[in-house]
Structure 1
Amino acid sequence: MIRAARAVTPEGEVPAVVTVRAGRIVTVEPYVTDAPPGRGMSARTHSRSAFPRRGFAEVVDLGPDVVLLPGLVDTHVHVNEPGHSDWEGFASATLAAAAGGITTLVDMPVDSVPATVDVAALTAKRTAAAGRCHVDVGFWAGATPGNTAELAALHHAGVLGFKCFLADAGAPDLPPLSPDQLTSAMRTLRDFDGLLLVHAESDAELAVSPPAHGRRYADFLASRPGRVEDTAVAAVVDAARQTGARAHIVHLSSATALPLIAAARRDGIRITAETCPHYLALTAEEIPDGATEYACCPPIRDAANRDLLWSALRDGILDLVVSDHSPCAAALKHLDTGDFGAAWGGVSSLQLALPVVWTEARGRGIPLAEVTRWMSERPARLAGLTAKGRIAPGHDADLCAFAPDEQWTVHPDDLHHRQPVTPYAGRRLHGVVRRTWLRGRDIDPLRPAGRLLTPTADRLEDTP
Structure 2
Amino acid sequence: MSPDLVIRAASALIDGSVRPASVAITDGVVTAIGDLETPYAAAAEHRLADDEVLMPGMVDAHVHVNDPGRSEWEGFATATRAALAGGTTTIVDMPLNSLPPTTTVDALNVKKAAAQGNCYVDVAFWGGAVPGNIDDLRPLHEAGVCGFKCFLVDSGVPEFPPLSSAELRDYLARLAEFDALMIVHAEDAAALDAAPHQPGPRYADFLASRPDESEVTAIATVIDAVRATGARAHILHLSSAQALPQLRAAKAEGLPITVETCPHYLSFTAETIRDGSTAHKCCPPIRSSANQDELWAALADGTIDSVVSDHSPSTLDLKQLDSGDFAAAWGGVASVQVAFSAVWTAASARGHSLADVARWMCERPAQIAGLRSKGLVAVGHSADLTAFAPSRSWTVDAAALEHRNPLTAYQGMSLQGVVTGAWLRGMPVSARDAFGEPATPRGRFLTRGVD
Short-chain TM bin: over 0.9
Return the alpha-carbon distance in structure 2 between the equivalents of residues 371 and 334 of structure 1.
Answer: 34
- Pick from 128, 138, 147: which aligns with 1:152? 138
- Verify: 1:365 aligned to 2:351, yes or no: yes
Query: How far off is 1:330 after superposition?
Result: 0.6
TM superposition outliers: structure 1 runs of 4+ over 3 Å: none
- In structure 1, the partner of 2:434 is none
Query: 1:351 aligns to what SS in structure 2?
Result: coil
- On the 8 A contact 2:172/2:225 being kept in 1, the answer is yes
- Pick from 441, 445, 451: which aligns with 1:448? 441
Return the alpha-carbon distance in structure 1 between the equivalents of residues 428 and 86 of structure 2.
Answer: 14
- On the 8 A contact 2:84/2:430 being kept in 1, the answer is no
- Verify: 1:184 aligned to 2:170, yes or no: yes
- Verify: 1:287 aligned to 2:273, yes or no: yes
Return the alpha-carbon distance in structure 1 between the equivalents of residues 49 and 139 of structure 2.
Answer: 49
Query: How far off is 1:157 after superposition?
Result: 1.1
**Equivalent position amino acid for 1:50 in 2:** T
- In structure 1, the partner of 2:295 is 309
Return the alpha-carbon distance in structure 1 between the equivalents of residues 261 and 430 of structure 2.
Answer: 31
Query: 1:297 aligns to what SS in structure 2?
Result: coil
- Verify: 1:91 aligned to 2:65, yes or no: no
- On the 8 A contact 2:69/2:98 being kept in 1, the answer is yes
Return the alpha-carbon distance in structure 1 between the equivalents of residues 325 and 282 of structure 2.
Answer: 13
- In structure 1, the partner of 2:186 is 200
- In structure 1, the partner of 2:22 is 17
- Pick from 224, 237, 246: which aligns with 2:232? 246
- On the 8 A contact 2:51/2:389 being kept in 1, the answer is yes
Return the alpha-carbon distance in structure 1 between the equivalents of residues 109 and 231 of structure 2.
Answer: 27
**Equivalent position amino acid for 2:443 in 1:** G
Query: 1:69 aligns to what SS in structure 2?
Result: strand
- Verify: 1:264 aligned to 2:250, yes or no: yes
Query: 2:110 aligns to what SS in structure 1?
Result: helix
- Verify: 1:418 aligned to 2:404, yes or no: yes
Query: How far off is 1:388 after superposition?
Result: 0.4
- In structure 2, the partner of 1:386 is 372
**Equivalent position amino acid for 1:211 in 2:** H
**Equivalent position amino acid for 1:82 in 2:** P
Return the alpha-carbon distance in structure 2 between the equivalents of residues 444 and 429 of structure 1.
Answer: 21
- On the 8 A contact 2:395/2:415 being kept in 1, the answer is yes
- On the 8 A contact 1:255/1:308 being kept in 2, the answer is yes
- In structure 2, the partner of 1:42 is none
- On the 8 A contact 2:314/2:330 being kept in 1, the answer is yes
Return the alpha-carbon distance in structure 2 between the equivalents of residues 212 and 375 of structure 1.
Answer: 36
Return the alpha-carbon distance in structure 2 between the equivalents of residues 417 and 51 of structure 1.
Answer: 41
Q: Deviations over 1:280-313 (max 9, x none)?
A: 0000011111111110000000100011000000
* Ranges in structure 1 where 5+ consecutive residues have no aligned partner: 32-48
Query: Closer, same or farther in 2 for the Cα pair 1:65/1:270, shift >3 Å?
Result: same
- In structure 2, the partner of 1:430 is 416
Query: How far off is 1:212 after superposition?
Result: 4.7
Return the alpha-carbon distance in structure 2 between the equivalents of residues 299 and 323 of structure 1.
Answer: 14
- Pick from 332, 336, 339: which aligns with 1:350? 336
Query: 2:271 aligns to what SS in structure 1?
Result: helix
Query: Closer, same or farther in 2 for the Cα pair 1:199/1:442, shift >3 Å?
Result: same
Query: Closer, same or farther in 2 for the Cα pair 1:422/1:325, shift >3 Å?
Result: same
Q: Deviations over 1:173-201 (max 9, x none)?
A: 21111110000000000000000000000
Return the alpha-carbon distance in structure 2 between the equivalents of residues 69 and 414 of structure 1.
Answer: 25
- On the 8 A contact 2:366/2:375 being kept in 1, the answer is yes
Return the alpha-carbon distance in structure 1 between the equivalents of residues 213 and 165 of structure 2.
Answer: 16
Query: 1:402 aligns to what SS in structure 2?
Result: strand
Return the alpha-carbon distance in structure 2 between the equivalents of residues 438 and 228 of structure 1.
Answer: 40
Return the alpha-carbon distance in structure 2 between the equivalents of residues 317 and 325 of structure 1.
Answer: 23
Q: Deviations over 1:325-375 (max 9, x none)?
A: 000011000010000000000000000001100000110110001100100
- In structure 1, the partner of 2:304 is 318
- Pick from 231, 234, 248: which aligns with 2:220? 234
- On the 8 A contact 1:75/1:383 being kept in 2, the answer is yes
- On the 8 A contact 1:65/1:405 being kept in 2, the answer is yes
Return the alpha-carbon distance in structure 1 between the equivalents of residues 366 and 106 of structure 2.
Answer: 26
How large is the Cα RMSD of the aligned pairs?
A: 0.9
- On the 8 A contact 1:254/1:305 being kept in 2, the answer is yes
User: Percent identity, aligned pairs only?
Assistant: 55
Query: How far off is 1:442 after superposition?
Result: 1.3
- On the 8 A contact 1:82/1:114 being kept in 2, the answer is yes
- In structure 1, the partner of 2:124 is 138
- Verify: 1:56 aligned to 2:61, yes or no: no
- Verify: 1:335 aligned to 2:321, yes or no: yes
Query: How far off is 1:30 after superposition?
Result: 2.4
* Ranges in structure 2 where 5+ consecutive residues have no aligned partner: 1-5, 432-438
Q: Deviations over 1:392-451 (max 9, x none)?
A: 011100000000000111111220000121111110110000001101111144211100
**Equivalent position amino acid for 1:253 in 2:** S
- Pick from 166, 177, 188: which aligns with 2:152? 166
- In structure 2, the partner of 1:107 is 93
Query: 2:118 aligns to what SS in structure 1?
Result: coil
**Equivalent position amino acid for 1:19 in 2:** A
Query: 1:455 aligns to what SS in structure 2?
Result: coil
Q: Deviations over 1:9-65 (max 9, x none)?
A: 22421211100011110111122xxxxxxxxxxxxxxxxx2215xx32221111221
Query: Closer, same or farther in 2 for the Cα pair 1:96/1:251, shift >3 Å?
Result: same
Query: Closer, same or farther in 2 for the Cα pair 1:135/1:163, shift >3 Å?
Result: same
Q: Give the alignment's TM-score, normalised by structure 2.
A: 0.96
Return the alpha-carbon distance in structure 2 between the equivalents of residues 328 and 57 of structure 1.
Answer: 44
Q: Give the alignment's TM-score, normalised by structure 1.
A: 0.94
Return the alpha-carbon distance in structure 1 between the equivalents of residues 213 and 20 of structure 2.
Answer: 46
Counting matched residue pairs gives 439
- On the 8 A contact 2:85/2:430 being kept in 1, the answer is no
- On the 8 A contact 1:212/1:340 being kept in 2, the answer is no
